[in-house]
Every structure is written in structure tokens, then in C-alpha cells.
A and B are shown apart, each in its own frame.
Chain A
């Protein structure tokens, strides 16, 4: 049983990160129907900015905790600016373009960001500075670390905050209205441009936070790390029902847990035929199976055919 519990804990941690990234996809998709393929790169840049800022501050003699905080803030700011810029420069001119046009733009931006990052930070893996003391806990035979606890708690708090923002504030109401019907929302006095920009900025801030968590958790980072992470997170968003905030959160956590359990048990399940390097297929197999039975995702609204 301790393997089971251990994998649940690992999955919960990974899943919290997926959930944060998935929120960025789902907010943008919910409001403007765009798969923002560049979001994974925003997360990657968040990680790399933190490394640069925190490492150099630590080298300059700043206390580790303070340097970490500065790195986090810098990364959130950079990513927010990046998200805003992406929307303003790349996507906004394409609001009325054919459906696939912004998708190709998003792919183009993803390539651009990835290669920019490579020019800035190089091809090599970078080490994430140790910002937290290594403290291990044990619970019912499973081990977990301080950073894991923090990741889960901070994600939960952030997601709670986001839900409050979306369901309790004027901006949130404007966002929900725009998601329902942009034309009507704009007639009601909602500034669509601001709402969309806000979705990008908030999504990117969450992405930056996730980026810092990934970096802290795995302690290494690389300019290509955003791609698979983004893909998985997007899968999580679809799994939960894209456009649905709670769906993205639950989808992310579910995906993390399924992957962890899958990786832990796949050898036993297939009699040793498939090993743990098949971990990455779980996300997609689960996705395909879920969508076969629930075509709008687990928590997605049913969009019936209307005549």
C-alpha cells in the first residue's frame, strides 16, 4: 500500500502543477476559443527567469529566501508582460480571422519563444537553485518533502483565489459574460479587449508560478521543457472540459495522479511487457477514453446540437 500512497502523493504534486498550467489554457480558450500553444513556453520562460534572477542574487550574497522571492516576482512579472504582449501583438489582430489562423500563429509564437530562450539561456540543462531547506516527512509509509507540501498548498490557495476572482469580482463577471457571448457582453459595456488581456495576464502569472514550482521540484530546467508540460496541461484542461476552471483544476490533478499510478503499476499490469517509459502515453490514452464517453470532458458543459 505504501507504493500506492506514495504515487498518489507524487501524482498530487505533479497534478497541482498541471492544474496551474491548465488554467492558463482553459481561461484563454473559454474566452476566445483559442488553443494558446505558446503557453507552455511562457511557463518555461518563467522557470528560466527565476533561475537567472535567484541564482545571481544568491551569488551576490542575498539571503536564499529573499532571493527566491525576488526570482518568483521577477518571473511572474516577466510572464505577465509576455502574456499581455502575445495577446496584443500576435492574437488581437486575428480576432476575426478564420478559425485555424490564430492556431498557426500560436504555434509560430511557440517556436519563436523556444528559440529566443535558447539564444538567451543556451542549450544546456540549468540547475535550479535550492531555495528551500530539504525537509522530509513520513506518513503511513510514504515519504514526501517540504517542496511537495508547498507546491500542493500554494496551488490550492492560488486556485481558490482565482475562483474568488472569477465568481466574486466585477472583472470575473465580465470574463464569464465574455465567455458566454462576446458580442452581447460588449453591448452591456464590457471592454472585451481588457477582459481578454486580463485572461492572458492572469493565465501567464499562474504559468510563471507553475514554472517556478516545476523548477523547484525537479531542480533542473531546459529551454524545451515547456513543450511536453504544456501538452500535458492542455490535455488536462480538455479532460476536465475545456473552458471550465474547476474542470481544469480537477483535470490537472486527476492527470497527475493517473500518470503517477500508471508509471508505478504499468509493469505489473502488463506482466512486464510495458515498462515505466510508457508513462507519457497515460495522459493521452485516458484522454481518448474519457472523450469517447464524455465528448465534452468530465466537467464540460454539454453543447447540444441546436437547430
Chain B
């Protein structure tokens, strides 16, 4: 299970005259937690959106799991095994927590309209499996008792967890978390740290975009730093922490 899972090659993206990403190249290895940090506006989320197909890059490209990743549509990225959460939580508010996770199984299941209408055995079995897997995932992120609540009625921390469960439902090879600790207090962040660590231990590679430098340094195997859309450094946390350019970028010197 070692080797490269995702490789970004000279990815560039600009909006009008603003260069949001300048030839960013980086490599995520299987089984690691990879941190992507940088000051506000450094291009972290843009990188994320290029990778997951929300934006089409203007230059460069990605390869994922040994094959080129043609990221022109988010649903294709998801089908390839890239799942994500959003910086500003995007749940399906008027669906229950359980249903949110069940939708997450979409790419790994097949039932169509006819199956739904005629309720053939295969569809019924699949539906039961979807439900069971979703219940298991709610247990996994420890919000099983909120299964029947509408997602919009969950607390902030639980919404974050639900979003992670929904992403995990698609059996991703790479789970991308966009600032999962944003807005969380110390206890919640600690619980989140444990959850992320657990997910990695269970075999899923994680890309973590985060503002909370302490969380990133404590959790990640390797860290990349972006500043003004360019990659500053990619290395283990101990090295990154001491890098003069990183300190400058964060202090704005």
C-alpha cells in the first residue's frame, strides 16, 4: 500500500489577471495524512477545487491512483475515489442525517428507477446494504443517535462529523477535508483529531487543508505550504516548522 496516490503536476489556475495557482506540483503518498497550509488567499481551496473537478485548471494536471485524473466534473472525481468536505459545510439540510450518508453511497451503488418502482430483490438487497452501511458510518463518527434528525438541525460539530461520514460513504481512496476544524473549540478539535487519525489508521489517505497550524503539525505526516499560489515547501512537519520562508509567509514579513 505504499507509493504515490495523487500527483499534481504544475497545476495553474488564474481568475482574470489573478494567478491563484502558479505551477503547483506535489505528491500525496498512500496511507498518509497530508497537510496543505498557507495564509488566507494562498490558493489552498482553489487547489482543492481543481483537483475535485469544480474548477478546470488552466495548466498542468493530476494523476490519481496511477492514472491521469481528468478533472472536468466533480462526479467523475468522486467516482475515481476522491471525496471531500467543504469549508463552509454543505449538507443536504432537509434530509435526515442518515439519508445524507445514504446519498453518499450513490457512486458505489447502481439501482435505477425501474428497480425502485418494481422493488426487485437486487434493489431491495442493495437498499438494505446502503442503509446498514450508513448506520455503521454514523456510529463510526459517533452521531448515530442523531440519525433521524434533519441535517440542518444538528449542532455545528455534528454537522462536520456528518459531512465526513457522508464523504466516507463513497469509499474514497483519498479523503479531502477543507478546514474541518474551522469554528471548533479546543475539545471539539481534539475529538476531530482523533477521528481523522482513526480514519487514516483504517486505511484512507487524507488531504487536510487547515488553518489550525497546531492541528496540522501534530497530525500530518507531511505538509505542503502554499503562498501567493505557489508551493513554498513540501516536507515533514519538523522541517516545515523551521523553514524561514514559511515563517515569513505567516508573519507576512
Contact = CB atoms under 8 A, between A and B. Distances in A.
B87 interface: yes
Nearest to B48: A307
A136 interface: no
B86 interface: yes
A138 interface: no
Interface residues of B, number: 7
A305 B56 CA distance: 12
Contacts of B49: 307
From DSSP, what is the main secondary structure of chain A's interface residues?
loop
A305 B53 CA distance: 11
Interface string B18-32: 000000000000000
Contacts of B54: 305, 307
A307 B45 CA distance: 8
Interface in A187-232: none
A307 B74 CA distance: 11
A119 B128 CA distance: 60
A100 to B, nearest CB: 14
Nearest to B84: A307
A19 B58 CA distance: 39
Interface in B15-60: 45, 48-49, 54
Nearest to A305: B54
Interface in B68-116: 86-87
Interface string A274-307: 0000000000000000000000000000000101
Nearest to B54: A307
Interface in A4-45: none
Nearest to B88: A307
8 contacts: A305-B54, A307-B45, A307-B48, A307-B49, A307-B54, A307-B86, A307-B87, A307-B178
Given A307-B86, A307-B87, A307-B178, 5 more contacts: A305-B54, A307-B45, A307-B48, A307-B49, A307-B54
Interface of A: 305, 307
Closest 3 CB pairs of A and B: A307-B49, A307-B54, A307-B86
